[in-house]
Amino acid sequence: MIILGVDPGLTRCGVGVVEAGGSRRLSFIHVDVVRSDPHISQDLRLLAIYNGLSEKLERFAPDAVSIERVFAQDNRNTVLGTAQAAGLAMLAAAQRGIPVALHTPTEAKLAITGNGKAQKVQVERMVMRFLNLNEMPTPADAADALALAICHALRPAGALQGGEREEHLTAAQRQWALAAQRTKRRRINGDRGM
């Protein structure tokens, strides 16, 4: 399965491509940053990001696209551009019939390190380890895109498909699955008024 990760941004939109094989073996395929010029109009910047993402989707024909879920930030302009770039990635994938998954930074950290509050350097080391890289890709947007692709490959829901049992999950996947179960129980109990 080929997974294309997207760390959305209006100036720099990270793109990372990995292949998830049997026994959760991950292979590095590609990493890059799609850029737009901050000195041109917003519409042309969005077009540049869309065209760059479309080119990557055509070139790598992924089976899934994993995009960072946009979360609130103090800087309204930054979150707006990030949300627009995420929307463009979803649109480009949907036009090609490619499934899209949204993952929060906490989910990515948890899937990769087993700790949803891991420091950036810890995530980077694990990305390098998973993909057998000698150095971390730069800028950070590119590295984050690889982390999102890895996160999607390691998510428990995918790991349990195809008849696999829980004992075949990594420690990080087990922790993530437990956290997801707790959240689900809280929602159910909250719905019952408990």
Cβ-based neighbour number of residue 46 at 10 Å: 17
* Residue range(s) defining the domain that contains residue 25: 2-154
Residue 69, CA distances (Å) to 37, 145, 190 in order: 23, 12, 24
Q: Is residue 170 part of a domain?
A: no
Catalytic site residues? 7, 68, 141
For residues 26 and 34, give the distance between their C-alpha atoms in angstroms, rounded to a whole number. 23
Q: Does pLDDT of 63 surpass 70?
A: yes
Q: Is residue 109 part of a domain?
A: yes
Going by the annotation, the residues of the binding site for Mg(2+) are: 7, 68, 141
Q: Is residue 33 part of a domain?
A: yes
Question: pLDDT at position 161, please?
Answer: 36
Q: Is residue 145 part of a domain?
A: yes
Closest by alpha carbon to 147, among 169, 159, 171, 131? Answer: 131
What's the CA dihedral at 76, 79, 85, 89 to 10 degrees? -150
Question: pLDDT at position 171, please?
Answer: 54
For residue 191, give the 3-state DSSP assignment.
Answer: helix
Q: Is residue 6 part of a domain?
A: yes
Q: Does pLDDT of 53 surpass 90?
A: yes
Query: Could you report the per-residue pLDDT of 77-126, keeping only the tens digit for each?
Result: 778 889 999 999 999 999 999 999 999 999 999 999 999 899 989 999 99
Mean pLDDT of 19-38: 93
pTM for the whole structure: 0.79
Which is more confidently placed, 75 or 33?
33
Domains in the chain: how many in total? 1
Mean pLDDT of 21-48: 94
CATH of the domain at 138: 3.30.420.10
